[in-house]
Amino acid sequence: MNIMKTNFVKAIYLTLGLSSLTLAGCSDDWLKPEPLSFYEPSITLSTKEGLESALTTCHRQMRYYFMHDNGPALATDLMFSDVAVSAISNLSGCQNILFNVTPTSYNNWFGSNMIDWFWEIGTQGVSFANVVITRIPELDLDQSTKEQMLSSAYFQRAWRYYHLIFQFGDIPFLSKEVSTPKLDFRSTKMEVIIEQMIKDLEFAVAHIAEHADYGKENRGACRMLLIKFYIAAGRFDEAIEQANALINTSGYQLMENTFGKWENPHPEDHPITRNVVWDLHRPVNKADVANKETIMLMVNRYDNSESRLYTNFLYNMTPFWSQTDKNWGIITPSKANSGLTRQSATSSMLNQYPDFMDLRAIYGRGEAFSRPTYFAEKGMWNDKSDLRHSRESGNWFVMEDLRYNDPKLLETEDAEYYLQPIRKYADDGTLLCKDTIRCWFDFPYYKLWVEDIEKEVANGYIGTDYVGGPGDWYVYRLAEAYLLRAEAYYWKKEYAKAAEDVNKIRKRANCSKMFTATDLMNIEGLDVIMDERARELMFEELRHVELVRVSYTKANQEGGYNSPKDIADENSNSYWWHRVTNYNNYYNKGVKTLNGDEYKIGKYNIFWPIPQTAIDANLYGRVNQNYGYNGYEMNVEPISSLEEQEQANQ
């Protein structure tokens, strides 16, 4: 390959992260670069079907933000927030963020973090959307079809940039397909990108269909994303107007009663008392016609063998209870045995031990790449009647739901403990689980338990895995619209209305505690709203992204924002920092893993480092680095207006 082509490929990797424009399939192969495709664009991209396949790729890639094989990207986002930390306690990874997260560190590994992956997947999505945006005018289609496809592409691009700017701050904005070598990209101010995304989404709301096939964007999805950008821009009245349209005139409604298919997967060992929260989060019910709360889904079905993606929630996000090393895992009160096994309930096992409890099928084969903070696990659950934290209904899992299930105990002095609930402490007060960070925590069973069909014994499986199979996942549902409207009311100091919207969500969850206008005042009022987001949208929202969005909004409302540095330097006091400091009981509290890694984080970690490879590949321009990371001192003035953006021709 000649120098020209080499530099072109570097530029494409920098800005697009694009693997291929062939759009073949949706397996992990799309992560493998195929540079030649940039020089020989597939002719199908000049057809309606080709551009639709580009949008399909955007839809499929959205799933990777939430689910993947080992340590999903979602876990990384949560680790940079108030609700979670890395649970990997035998390796140095993402515990000491101050030391381990740099522009040149390996930020694309499940054992550490997936920051670079977010950059790559985000810019890939932008590039696919830009192909549609650039080429749609060339197609011989009726105007309505063009507007529909353009609206979809605008949504997909805006969805990527929403995450990218609140992860990485000022970044290059690509307004169109990159079809010629370009090595002089410049960063663009966040506020400029926000302004453009608002323009695009306003167009989309006006032109996209009210309803669409499940898995595709519709008017409601465009409204929801537009609300977020409006709030970030301080345009609260317009945010409220869009939320009102979603809530009052779009045909959506909160599901307040049981509906859809009733599933009670383990009635003897973990019985579920039917309730609306459980039904709402069954994958089979998310696309049910009776579900009026769904606005947009990521469709992910077992029957779609070529496109299905295992959620792996029961592997990634649940405790490593099956750790058999007594120096790390859970042991019996006698301290002599581990007492737990993830063996499956095969016919031979049940013939020998008829009462054997198949814990890996009931609760998953947890590996715990992240774990909740005390706040997310217990602290925010201050209402005993809240269905979202109800052990009595079966919605919430606690460690004591596990039982010592290893039949080998019957041959030891610990036979009395067989099928008894596990214990955290011995009679003498000794801790019976040394690695409580990774092996001992509670979780929302109603959200994370997803049937793993291929791992069912009834289907011939005899192994030890149960990781969570394919299942539909929410992108947006109406509950979030209420909480976003509450936030807009908060910024307008209309505290009674903000409280009313928060209480609407709490009433559906059967909460007894309701908030008043006084509760919604000052920073404590903002905390009320963000606490409710944490309860309602756990594992549905990218929590770090949302906290940074709120930080950006707050700084602008207080007149203290000119650049990302203003909410990241040592003199700053961002809302994100307020939440991490006061609600995360791991960072900067002296907590260490058994491996000796201390949990640390700094104010500047509100924004992630731009990958150094992306900066270096831009030979004749400057992609700015975030404050606090090496290379910040080389920054230049970013693009500061849409007019300047147009002149930059990028």
C-alpha–C-alpha distance, residues 412 and 419, integer Å: 14
What's the confidence (pLDDT) of residue 636?
A: 98
C-alpha–C-alpha distance, residues 484 and 549, integer Å: 12
9-13, 183-187, 558-562: segment of lowest average pLDDT: 9-13
The residue among 136, 449, 437, 506 whose CA lies nearest residue 283 is 449
Helices 236-249, 219-232: crossing angle, 10 deg rounding: 160
Cβ atoms within 10 Å of 518's Cβ, excluding its own: 12
Q: Write out 284-345 in H/E/C secondary structure.
A: HHHCCCCCCCEEEEECCCCCCCCCCCCCCHHHHCCCCCCCCCCCCCECCCCCCCCCCCCCCC
The CA dihedral of 187, 168, 310, 12, to the nearest 10 degrees, is 20
Q: What is the mean pLDDT of residues 492-497?
A: 99
Q: Residue 131 carries which DSSP code?
A: H
* Residue pair 203/226 in contact by the 8 Å Cβ criterion: no
C-alpha–C-alpha distance, residues 216 and 152, integer Å: 8
How does pLDDT run across 298-331, given as a tens digit for each residue? 999 999 988 899 999 999 999 999 999 998 999 9
Backbone angles phi, psi at 373, to 5 degrees: -75, 170
C-alpha–C-alpha distance, residues 504 and 151, integer Å: 31
β-pairing verdict for 443-444 and 396-397: antiparallel
Angle at alpha carbon of residue 68, lines to 56 and 22, rounded to 5°:
35
Cβ atoms within 10 Å of 195's Cβ, excluding its own: 16
* Residue pair 415/409 in contact by the 8 Å Cβ criterion: yes
What's the confidence (pLDDT) of residue 635?
A: 98
C-alpha–C-alpha distance, residues 52 and 55, integer Å: 5
How does pLDDT run across 534-554, given as a tens digit for each residue? 999 999 999 999 999 999 999
Helix or strand run (H / E) with residue 444? strand 443-444
C-alpha–C-alpha distance, residues 80 and 66, integer Å: 15
pLDDT at 426 over 80: yes
pLDDT at 29 over 50: no
Coil, strand or helix at 473? strand
Amino acid type, 377: E
Coil, strand or helix at 138? helix
Backbone angles phi, psi at 265, to 5 degrees: -65, -30
- Rounded mean pLDDT of the chain? 93
**Burial zone of 292 (CB within 10 Å; 0-12 exposed, 13-18 middle, 19+ buried):** middle
Which token pair is 545? 């992204």
Amino acid type, 501: D
C-alpha–C-alpha distance, residues 385 and 388, integer Å: 9
What's the confidence (pLDDT) of residue 110?
A: 82
pLDDT at 32 over 60: no
CA 47 distance to own-chain centroid: 33
* Residue pair 423/429 in contact by the 8 Å Cβ criterion: no
What's the confidence (pLDDT) of residue 12?
A: 41
Residue in the structure block whose two tokens are 């998953």: 364
Q: Residue 96 carries which DSSP code?
A: B
How does pLDDT run across 220-253, given as a tens digit for each residue? 999 999 999 999 999 999 999 999 999 999 999 9
CA 292 distance to own-chain centroid: 23
pLDDT at 34 over 90: no
Q: What is the mean pLDDT of residues 75-87?
A: 98
What's the confidence (pLDDT) of residue 23?
A: 40
The more confident residue out of 650 and 588 is 588
Q: How far is CA 163 from CA 38, 155, 170, 194, 584, in A?
A: 26, 13, 12, 11, 22
Amino acid type, 63: R
pLDDT at 332 over 60: yes
How does pLDDT run across 505-538, given as a tens digit for each residue? 999 999 999 999 999 999 999 999 999 999 999 9
* Residue pair 500/342 in contact by the 8 Å Cβ criterion: no
> Per-residue DSSP letters for 223-287?
HHHHHHHHHHTT-HHHHHHHHHHHHHHSS-----S--S----S-TTTS-----HHHHHT-HHHHT
Cβ atoms within 10 Å of 425's Cβ, excluding its own: 11
Which token pair is 541? 């929202």
* Residue pair 585/373 in contact by the 8 Å Cβ criterion: yes
4-13, 67-76, 92-101, 214-223: segment of lowest average pLDDT: 4-13
Long-range contacts for 565-572 (Cβ within 8 Å, ≥24 apart)? 565/627, 567/606, 568/603, 568/604, 568/606, 568/607, 568/626, 568/627, 568/628, 569/603, 569/604, 569/627, 569/628, 570/603, 572/603
Name residues whose C-beta falls within 8 Å of residue 3's C-beta, 6 or more positions apart in sequence: none
C-alpha–C-alpha distance, residues 19 and 626, integer Å: 26
Helix or strand run (H / E) with residue 13? helix 3-15
The more confident residue out of 492 and 4 is 492
Q: What is the mean pLDDT of residues 90-101?
A: 92
Which token pair is 346? 């095969």
* Residue pair 464/342 in contact by the 8 Å Cβ criterion: yes
pLDDT at 427 over 50: yes
C-alpha–C-alpha distance, residues 119 and 613, integer Å: 11
What's the confidence (pLDDT) of residue 40?
A: 35
What's the confidence (pLDDT) of residue 70?
A: 67
Count of all residues that appear for the chain in the document: 650
What's the confidence (pLDDT) of residue 44?
A: 60
* Residue pair 55/26 in contact by the 8 Å Cβ criterion: no
pLDDT at 16 over 60: no
What's the confidence (pLDDT) of residue 28?
A: 45
What pairs with residue 84 in β-bridges? 372
pLDDT at 15 over 80: no
Residue in the structure block whose two tokens are 């814990």: 359
